[in-house]
Amino acid sequence: MSRLKRFLKMAFLLDILQGLGVTLRLYFSRKVTVQYPEQVQEPAPRFRGILRLHRDEGGEPLCIACKACQRACGTNCFDIEGKKEEGAKVMRPVKFDWKLDRCSFCGFCVEVCPTAAIRFSREFRLTGTGKVGLFFRLPDMYLAGEDLQEHLCAGCRRPQ
């Protein structure tokens, strides 16, 4: 009986029509495509975007130039020099060079930082046309948003 049923189903193309019905239903279903420049998908909370330095609430830099990140870094991204001002309690970096093209986003520097000065941001737009934009000095490490894009794109002539 079931063999006959199966044969009839096949002979009258019922299973084929059923399959076509499935795709037709999907045809009108909601689409998962995110149309990138217009719609931007928020990255996950723990997303590892570009590394950024942070300041405390008073606007004082958190970094104490302990060079823990420099030692932890597996790819030698950092070149840090600190200096203690007369009467100041802690050291401050006077040179903080960081190379994005060397960074592998492993996160060792973030883990090791005693003051949580260096953290991952959620910025994922990291393209430029030259190596210049991938080299960050101390003030560049605080850039974010469009300022960061401009820095990354140093040397490319993009219509503003």
- Considering only 7, 8, 14, 24, the residue that binds other proteins (CB under 8 A) is 24
| Least Cβ distance, residue 16 to other proteins (angstroms) | 8
Backbone angles phi, psi at 99, to 5 degrees: -110, 115
Q: Is 20 in the site for other proteins (CB under 8 A)?
A: yes
Q: How far apart are CA 156 and CA 133, in angstroms?
A: 9
Question: Hey, CA dihedral for 69, 73, 77, 79, is it positive or negative?
Answer: positive
- Considering only 35, 41, 76, 160, the residue that binds other proteins (CB under 8 A) is 35
- Considering only 19, 74, 145, 155, the residue that binds other proteins (CB under 8 A) is 19
- Considering only 33, 39, 41, 160, the residue that binds other proteins (CB under 8 A) is 33
- Considering only 1, 2, 3, 31, the residue that binds other proteins (CB under 8 A) is 31
Neighbours of 149 (CB within 10 A): 17
Indicate the residue type of 151.
Answer: H
The residue range among 28-36, 103-111, 116-124, 150-158 that interacts with other proteins, by the rule CB under 8 A, is 28-36
The residue range among 26-34, 68-76, 79-87, 130-138 that interacts with other proteins, by the rule CB under 8 A, is 26-34
Neighbours of 70 (CB within 10 A): 19
Backbone angles phi, psi at 51, to 5 degrees: -75, 135
